[in-house]
Amino acid sequence: MMWAEVHDLLDTMKHREGIDYKDAVHLFICKYRIESLTEDAFLKNYYRWRGTVRRREKRKYSRK
């Protein structure tokens, strides 16, 4: 459940409030006083999740 909350928080902070991902992760870590995981671990997990959930379709180009 923690990862779902992190993903939601990062999306909200970035797109609604304009706060960078790194700053949002820092706020999350301070809020819950997490000492066992680093900021990089949270960011890496978020980027992996975003890559699988929000896959972009590749454009198909055709020659004329």
pLDDT digits (tens, 9 = 90+) for 10-52: 999 999 999 999 999 999 999 999 999 999 999 999 999 999 8
pLDDT at site 61: 77
Structure tokens at 37: 């995981």
Structure tokens at 59: 């454009």
